[in-house]
Structure formats: structure tokens, C-alpha cells
């Protein structure tokens, strides 16, 4: 059986890592094209421009704010023939745009996240939206980013909710990868994952449990600590490798189902994934001790444990059945679970997770 594991070319993380960006980019050539989201363009670029230009020439363009085909085409036309490496700095949409532009131009890409809110930076994937911000399609890329660079001081200066959301996304990694391992299910490459991928997914979970609370406290104080560094790495690298090379299962499918309800749209990806993870524990009949361990963690770091905490305090059973049905759509990753998967079993799992979350809050 062929097993496949994929990685970014190089991962760099630490305080003031942005000062090393020029030196890292120099490995790819002498000319860079930098796509910076509006916050980065105004607040961060002025502080790193001198050190960047000491190493490499760079054209820096402000990102429009939407990862659309139109924006990708606009930036591709500007950069074509003028650069040897593409750089994206900012949130997920700026990074996805940089990946897509680099793919169009067939040149290396470096991504520089300014928050640690999801595991997407390391992945060979861009999510494409319409110019109005509606989901359009996934763009699966032939390779992962050549460089992922995170400055932990920048992450520490961002609101702690972003870091906590990243922990919610990462929380699913081990449970989904383990389900795929047991089922011999395919990962994002179309082949089963490796021992390495499953082991890194397990390390991701263990790191969150051990250091999550301390990392949140550090981020709230805007200081960089060893615990914060470990959780940034778990959120970004370990979870990225774990989901892409280990595989997805129920948690992310239930997240996708939750998005059919407009009330959830103002909540972060990782916050909804956390609810999907809790539901998956009941769906797959996990040991009560494991369930309590996960609820303890969510309550400690501030992840939602009830539907009310993702805008669904007044949700009806009819609405939840729509969520469950969408979670079970053909091709969804929930079918990687080795239990009966029907809208009814998923509906019951979501209700059970919500009920237990409410019960624990009353204790």
C-alpha cells in the first residue's frame, strides 16, 4: 500500500523571525513580490522593510482583502516576469492568494502568518471566494509552501481569541487522524497517511493539553513564553501536518454542516471545529474519561462547549437536522469514521455534546 506524507519546504518560528525573512527569501532568488494584507501593509511592513531590502529587492503590494480569482489574476499580471519568489504576509486569505499567484507563475512561495488561528498555512490548498466574500471553490496545489515563517512576537500581539481558535482547529487533529489510521482512510493526498503523520497528530493533542492554558495567558499578556511557542507550533505545523497527511473525519465535516446556519458565520473556524470535535466524541463512542478530558481543556482555554456559544442558543431540531444532513453529504470526511453515519446519528451526537456542555456548566 502506498502511503503519502507532505510537508512545507522549511518552517521558521521565533521572536523577531521577520527580521530573518530577507535572508530566508535570498535562497530563492534576488527579487521578491510581497502581498501584504491591509493591517500588515500599514503596521508591520514599515518595521521590516529595511531589513528585508538589505537582503533582496522587493515589490510590496497591498492585498484587496478577498482571495478571489479576480484578485489572483490582478496580482499575477503585476508580478509576472518580475519576481523569483512570492510572499504572502497576513491572515489566511492573503496567504492563500500568495499560494495561488505563485502557482500561476510557477515560482516558489513563502507564507508569513500574523495569527495562529488555523492549520492552513502549511497546506497545499487555497480557498477561493467570490469578490463579495462567498465561498467559490478549493484550489488544490501541487506542492506545499516552500517557506512558512512565524514571528512569535507578532502572534503574541494579536488578540488571544485567534490563538484559542487555532487550538480549537488543532484539537480535532489527533481524533480525526486516529480515525483515518484505524479505517486506513485516505488523507488529503488521496493515499493513506504514514506513521510519522499519525505520531505528529498525537503530539499536537498532547501539546495542547499540556501548554494550552499557559499559552493563552501569555498571549493575553502579549508576551512570548516557551508555552506560547509550543502552542503556536502545534496550531500551525503539527496540526497542519496532522490534518493534511493524517486525514480528516467527523469534526471538520460537522463544522462544514454548522456553516449552513447563518448564525454561526460570525464565529471563527476553530471555534466551530471544537464543537464538531465534541460531537464526534459522542458519535464515535469515546470513553467517558476522554470526553471529560476534552471538555476540561475547552473550558480551561475558552473554547465553546455548547451550541449557544456559537450563536445557536435558540436552534431548532429542524435546523440541527439540516446541519447533520450537510455533515453527511457524499464525499464528506465524516465517512472516514468506522461507525454508522446517518443524519440521525450525527444529529443525536450534536445534541448529546450540547447537553453535556450545558450539564457541566450547571455543576
Residue 138 pLDDT: 86
The catalytic residue among 69, 252, 287, 292 is 252
Alpha-carbon span 242 to 206, nearest angstrom: 13
Annotated binding site for NAD(+): 37, 92-96, 114-117, 123, 125, 129
Alpha-carbon span 318 to 87, nearest angstrom: 45
pLDDT, mean of each 10-residue run, the chain (363 residues): 96 97 96 94 93 94 92 96 96 94 98 95 92 84 97 97 98 98 96 97 98 98 98 98 97 94 93 98 98 98 98 98 96 96 98 98 87
Say yes or no: domain 11-156 is CATH 3.40.50.10470. Answer: no
Residue 254 pLDDT: 96
Give Cα separations from 108 to 11, 94, 102, 209 (angstroms): 14, 16, 6, 35
Burial string for 237-263 (b: 16+ CB within 10 Å, else e) reads: bbbbbbbbbbbbbbbbbbbbbbeebee
Annotated binding site for glycerol: 119, 169, 252, 269
Architecture of the 159-361 domain: Up-down Bundle (1.20)
252 belongs to the catalytic site = yes
Domain with CATH 1.20.1090.10 in the chain: 159-361
pLDDT (tens digit per residue) in 44-81: 999 999 999 999 999 999 998 889 999 999 999 999 99
Residue 14 pLDDT: 98
Domain with CATH 3.40.50.1970 in the chain: 11-156
DSSP bridge pairs for 128: 137
User: Position of cell 485516505?
Assistant: 186
The catalytic residue among 103, 146, 151, 255 is 255
169 belongs to the catalytic site = yes
Alpha-carbon span 357 to 351, nearest angstrom: 10
103 belongs to the catalytic site = no
Annotated binding site: 37, 92-96, 114-117, 119, 123, 125, 129, 169, 252, 269
Alpha-carbon span 147 to 196, nearest angstrom: 20
Cα 296 to the chain's mean position, in Å? Answer: 22
DSSP 276-326: HHHHHHHHTT--HHHHHHHHHHHHHHT---SGGGGT-TT--HHHHHHHHHH
pTM: 0.95
Alpha-carbon span 321 to 344, nearest angstrom: 7
pLDDT (tens digit per residue) in 110-155: 999 999 999 999 999 998 988 887 778 889 999 999 999 999 999 9
Q: What are phi and psi of 264, to 5 degrees?
A: -85, -10
The catalytic residue among 103, 146, 269, 354 is 269
Give Cα separations from 163 to 107, 179, 226 (angstroms): 31, 25, 15
Around 334, how many Cα atoms within 13 Å sit in the side-chain half-sphere?
A: 32
C-alpha cell at 133: 466574500
Cα 136 to the chain's mean position, in Å? Answer: 18
Amino acid at each position: 500500500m502506498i502511503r503519502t506524507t507532505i510537508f512545507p519546504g522549511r518552517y521558521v518560528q521565533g521572536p523577531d523571525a521577520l527580521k530573518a525573512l530577507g535572508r530566508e527569501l535570498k535562497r530563492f532568488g534576488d527579487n521578491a513580490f510581497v502581498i501584504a494584507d491591509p493591517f500588515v501593509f500599514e503596521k508591520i511592513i514599515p518595521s521590516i522593510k529595511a531589513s528585508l531590502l538589505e537582503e533582496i529587492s522587493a515589490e510590496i503590494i497591498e492585498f484587496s482583502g478577498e482571495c478571489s480569482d479576480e484578485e489572483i489574476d490582478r496580482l499575477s499580471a503585476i508580478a509576472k516576469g518580475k519576481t523569483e519568489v512570492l510572499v504572502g504576509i497576513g491572515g489566511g486569505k492573503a496567504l492563500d492568494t500568495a499560494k495561488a499567484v505563485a502557482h500561476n507563475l510557477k515560482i516558489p512561495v513563502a507564507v508569513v502568518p500574523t495569527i495562529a488561528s488555523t492549520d492552513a498555512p502549511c497546506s497545499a490548498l487555497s480557498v477561493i471566494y467570490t469578490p463579495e466574500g462567498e465561498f467559490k471553490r478549493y484550489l488544490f496545489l501541487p506542492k506545499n509552501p516552500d517557506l512558512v515563517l512565524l514571528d512569535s512576537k507578532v502572534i503574541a500581539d494579536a488578540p488571544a481569541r485567534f490563538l484559542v481558535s487555532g487550538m480549537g482547529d488543532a484539537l480535532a487533529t489527533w481524533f480525526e487522524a486516529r480515525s483515518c489510521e484505524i479505517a486506513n482512510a485516505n488523507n488529503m493526498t488521496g493515499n493513506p497517511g504514514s506513521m510519522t503523520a499519525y505520531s505528529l497528530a498525537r503530539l499536537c493533542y498532547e501539546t495542547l493539553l499540556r501548554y494550552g492554558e499557559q499559552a493563552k495567558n501569555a498571549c493575553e499578556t502579549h508576551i512570548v513564553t516557551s508555552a506560547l511557542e509550543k502552542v503556536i507550533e502545534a496550531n500551525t505545523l503539527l496540526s497542519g501536518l496532522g490534518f493534511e497527511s493524517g486525514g480528516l473525519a467527523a469534526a471538520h465535516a460537522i463544522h462544514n454542516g454548522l456553516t449552513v446556519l447563518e448564525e454561526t458565520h460570525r464565529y471563527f473556524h476553530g471555534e466551530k471545529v471544537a464543537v464538531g470535535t465534541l460531537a464526534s466524541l459522542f458519535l464515535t463512542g469515546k470513553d467517558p474519561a476522554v470526553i471529560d478530558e476534552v471538555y476540561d481543556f475547552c473550558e480551561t482555554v475558552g473554547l465553546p462547549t455548547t451550541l449557544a456559544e456559537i450563536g445557536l442558543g435558540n436552534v431548532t431540531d429542524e435546523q440541527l437536522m439540516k446541519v447533520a444532513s450537510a455533515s453527511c453529504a457524499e464525499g464528506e470526511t465524516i465517512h472516514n469514521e468506522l461507525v454508522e453515519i446517518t443524519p440521525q446519528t450525527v444529529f443525536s451526537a450534536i445534541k448529546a455534546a450540547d447537553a453535556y456542555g450545558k450539564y457541566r456548566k450547571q455543576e
